[in-house]
Amino acid sequence: MATRWGICSAGKISHDFSVALRTLASEDHQIVAVAARDLQHAEEFARKHSIPRAYGSYDELAKDPDVDVVYVGTIHPHHLSAGKLFMKSRKNVLIEKPLAMNSREVQELITAAQKYSVFLMEAIWTRFFPASLEVRRLLSGGEVGDVRLVRADLGAPLTHIARLAERKMGGGALLDLGIYCLQFVFMVFNGERPESIQATGHCIDTGVDGTAVLVLKFSGNRLAICTCSITVMLTNDAVITGTKGNIKVPNHMWCPTALEVNGKEMQFPLPEADMTLNFTNSTGLRYEAEEVRRCLQKGLKESPGMLWAHSILIAEVIDEARRQLGVTYDQDSIQ
């Protein structure tokens, strides 16, 4: 039986996710409904993607008995309320990254998932790309020896995009881009908590972080350096350096299709899209959808590839980095 998806929000990332689902077998994945706060937008989205039902409110989607799991593609500040709405209606949820605005909200979502006994996963799609799975296999096999240093960079001039630049919309480099760098680090170090976190950078005039550099120190003098920016173009790559060599994600580290392992290149091509996409390599969103289906079939409430503990850790590190940079959101003062 197919996993029946509901789509929450009719924006750009929801479009790309819907396109990605069509690269998978229809007997495994079907979109049965879409909801937006504007019914016209939902209806337009439904026509474009041949979705049978369109709703003008998230409440209607939550009440749809034919929906197994909801993909939440709203802007960051709405992740908590949307996620709790669907889980209260006993819907499984895949929520776009960041899972929430801060670690308190992340914990609130996890508590709701536990209370209502539903599946919850932060949609960090990078974790499920074939290239990322290969990185984990190489590390577990000792291909580069003991890892001593991880570097990850991600940035581009993006301050013209309101949701990335405005405080009220959850903007800032750390929440939108730095999360990819951090998840990569914690994937490499198996979710180990760093001994220290040092952050520096600068804020733009809206009060959010424009560029941030984080240095994380782990046990045994192992280090990770993460740089993220919405003001300048960075190399957008990642390197794992070990005692026997290195693994490099040469470009698009947030949606990898290639690796260099001790100088040897490896390619992991993606399927073609049947519509124009908004973001790079978006057909790769299929891999997180496949993970959700696998977990649901096994009766799991969290993904082994993106554990709740990792989501909490990432959020706590971002909270601390924002504290050091002086970046606050309204959600930080809510108790």
User: 117-128, pLDDT tens digit by residue?
Assistant: 999 999 999 999
* Cβ atoms of residues 150 and 240 within 8 Å: yes
Average pLDDT over residues 83-103: 98
Q: Residue 334: pLDDT above 80?
A: no
Instruction: Provide the sign of the torsion angle of the four alpha carbons 108, 109, 114, 115, taken in this order.
Output: positive
Average pLDDT over residues 158-163: 96
Distance of alpha carbon 267 from alpha carbon 171, whole angstroms: 33
Specify the amino acid at residue 34: V
- What does the pLDDT read at residue 335? 58
CA atoms within 13 A on the CB side of 142: 1
- What does the pLDDT read at residue 71? 99
- What does the pLDDT read at residue 127? 97
What string of DSSP letters covers 226-287?
EEEESSS-----EEEEETTEEEEE-S-TTS--EEEETTEEEE-PPPPPSS--SSTTGGGGHH
Q: Residue 209: pLDDT above 70?
A: yes
Distance of alpha carbon 250 from alpha carbon 7, whole angstroms: 32
Alpha-carbon distances, residue 213 vs 105, 181, 278 (angstroms)? 24, 11, 27
- What does the pLDDT read at residue 116? 98
257 vs 334, which has greater pLDDT? 257
CB atoms within 10 A of CB 61: 27
Q: Which of 234, 262, 239 is nearest to 250 (CA)?
A: 239
| Fold that domain 130-263+308-320 belongs to in CATH | Dihydrodipicolinate Reductase; domain 2 (3.30.360)
Average pLDDT over residues 14-29: 98
DSSP structure class, residue 96: E
- Domains of the chain: which residue ranges? 3-125, 130-263+308-320
If pLDDT is split at 50, 70 and 90, which confidence band does 257 have?
Answer: very high
pLDDT tens digits for 31-71? 999 999 999 999 999 999 999 999 999 999 999 999 999 99
Q: What percent of the chain has pLDDT over 70?
A: 99
From the options 3.40.50.720, 3.60.15.10, 3.30.1380.10, 3.50.50.60, give the CATH code of 3-125: 3.40.50.720
pLDDT tens digits for 267-313? 999 999 999 999 999 999 999 999 999 999 999 999 999 999 999 99
